[in-house]
Structure 1
Amino acid sequence: MTQTKTQAKPTATLRPIAELAPHGDNPRIHPEEQIAKLAAMIDRVGFVGVVAVRDGVIAKGHGTLAACRRLLAEGKDIHPAPGRERGAPPFPRGQLPVQDCTGWTDAEFRAFVAADNQLGLLSGWDDDLLRLNLDGLELDGFDLGDIGFSGDELERLLALPDRATPPEPGFQPALDPGTDHRQVTDAEVDRAQARADGRFSGGDARRKAELLCPNCAESFHMNADDLALILRDAQ
């Protein structure tokens, strides 16, 4: 006789957030700046995941819950992913999906709270891939400041590789096109093309393409929309 395995049943349900109690000994601090960024991201892409509770006490989601309360206070609804702009209907006002983890021991509850916040910090970034992702997000109109990187971090990540030493005074690249002061890498060419592929909107003059002269290795900027037109006409 074949035995039928018991299947796990979904444990997440919509519950009023007013019923959820914060963990009084939660060691994680959520500053207002972080809550504002979380709120902006939830408002843009929707609510993802669940708030985890044990006996009604929050184990996971203190910051997310604070961000949702902020949106509700602003008169906004909370939409699940893919979000309001993609047509997802909102959750009933004041309710969020909650996973009931009742059954944990006190030690397991405290261990999860610490691990949920700390384990993610043990990972790192591939800066080159991260830079490509941030470039694409910027082109698609995302405010990179809402993702959580500081201004200094964004400046470092979005900076192109260091340039070669400028050529000697008097060098005329137009008259000496064969002079190879520095080879332009494929990655730099791809980056310049990605910044000028015609996806810019609104004629935003702040969007600048950084280009590199293949002869003298000198970098310069120009309006990315203008560059997109130049590349289009050159095709």
Structure 2
Amino acid sequence: MAARKRVRPTNSRPKRKTQPRLSIKYVSIETLCPSSANPRRHPDKQIALIAANINRHGFNVPILIDQHGNVLSGNARMLAALSLGQTTVPTVCLDHLSDAQKRAFILAENRLSELADWDRDVLHKELQHLMNVELDFEVEITGFDTIDIDNLEISIEGDPEDDNEDIPQPEQLAITRPGQMWLLGDHRLVCGDARDPANYARVLDGNQAQMVFTDPPYNVVIGHNASPSARHREFEMASGEMSPKDFVEFLESFLSCTTAACLDGAIIFTCMDWRHDHLLKQAAEGIGLVHCPSSYKLE
């Protein structure tokens, strides 16, 4: 087995070229070439988010290239610019680097940022600030979505469910089955599908509702998203498996039944996460309802 050749360090150091002054130059995007030495892959979701940031905030970080137009840093930004139809982009030419330096620089650019840690308190504070002010863009273009923000808040402020761990478990399994109705004094509780008009008829017993409060599934995978402890089961449906079109149809189906069971002028309070509220609006307006959003913060 051949021994691996090792390069021994020497006392003499190669002379380093003088760092040139960097300048930004706008060039045609067609003259740029993605580097074959870049080990990073860029999924469509990342490119879309970068494009959204460029579209909203501008192209604020130049692409770093060599004297031949090879991209050393900024491949994702270049792809995002292409998706937006941009023809020119800002660049900085690093023509003072050797081939080995270019390769090392590419690796360092992609790796070193991964070695940093998040200050979770500061991150939480900044995200909460954006959530509480009026914006003309979605917070998720930062790369943090609703689930990330909720999990961050739980990790900092604690999981409310932890306070309930001492609640004794029931001695027997639940006996309620679909179709069963429980009489609770003057109230009726039916276990059934909210898309079935027959269930409304049973629980209302000839009356019509003046107000409805409903919290349908948000078409979000529960898993570790509702709580890091992952003690929640998935919903039977609309638990992340539906397309936007299917989810709108799902919302329309139960809202139609709910509306038919209400008096004229009744209010239907329907909970929904902000990421899917536009689909709730589409479903409501699709069956003739007026969508009036109201936001609140869970304490």
TM-score tier by shorter-chain length is: 0.5 to 0.7
Structure 2 partner of 1:68? 81
Question: What is the letter of the counterpart of residue 54 of structure 2?
Answer: I
| % identical equivalent positions | 29
State which of 61, 69, 75 in structure 2 corresponds to 1:56.
69
Q: CA deviation at 1:134?
A: 0.5
Range 93-102 or range 62-71, more displaced: 93-102
Structure 1 residue runs without a partner (length 5+): 1-5, 73-92, 167-201, 212-235
Structure 2 partner of 1:147? 142
1:38/1:67 contact within 8 Å kept: yes
Q: Secondary structure at the match of 1:99?
A: strand
Question: What is the letter of the counterpart of residue 27 of structure 2?
Answer: R
Structure 2 residue runs without a partner (length 5+): 1-17, 165-290
Q: CA deviation at 1:132?
A: 1.0
State which of 111, 119, 143 in structure 1 corresponds to 2:112.
119
Structure 1 partner of 2:266? none
After TM superposition, the structure 1 = structure 2 runs for residues 1-235 of structure 1, keeping only pairs within 5 Å, are 9-54=21-66, 55-72=68-85, 94-140=87-133, 141=135, 142-149=137-144, 151-159=146-154, 160-163=157-160, 165=163, 204-205=293-294, 207-211=295-299
CA distance in 2, matches of 1:108, 1:29: 21
CA distance in 2, matches of 1:204, 1:125: 33
Q: CA deviation at 1:147?
A: 1.5
> What root-mean-square deviation, in Å, do the aligned CA atoms of Structure 1 and Structure 2 show?
2.8
CA distance in 1, matches of 2:122, 2:292: 27
2:64/2:93 contact within 8 Å kept: yes
TM-score of the superposed pair, with normalisation by structure 2: 0.46
1:52/1:101 contact within 8 Å kept: yes
Question: What is the letter of the counterpart of residue 23 of structure 1?
Answer: S
Q: CA deviation at 1:20?
A: 0.7
CA distance in 2, matches of 1:14, 1:99: 9
Q: Secondary structure at the match of 1:116?
A: helix
2:22/2:93 contact within 8 Å kept: no
CA distance in 2, matches of 1:50, 1:131: 29
CA distance in 1, matches of 2:19, 2:145: 45
Q: CA deviation at 1:47?
A: 1.1
Question: What is the letter of the counterpart of residue 144 of structure 1?
Answer: V
Q: CA deviation at 1:145?
A: 2.3
- Rg larger in 1 or in 2? 2
- More contact order relative to length (CA 8 Å, sep ≥ 6): 1
TM-score of the superposed pair, with normalisation by structure 1: 0.57
Aligned length: 152
2:49/2:143 contact within 8 Å kept: yes
Question: What is the letter of the counterpart of residue 55 of structure 2?
Answer: D
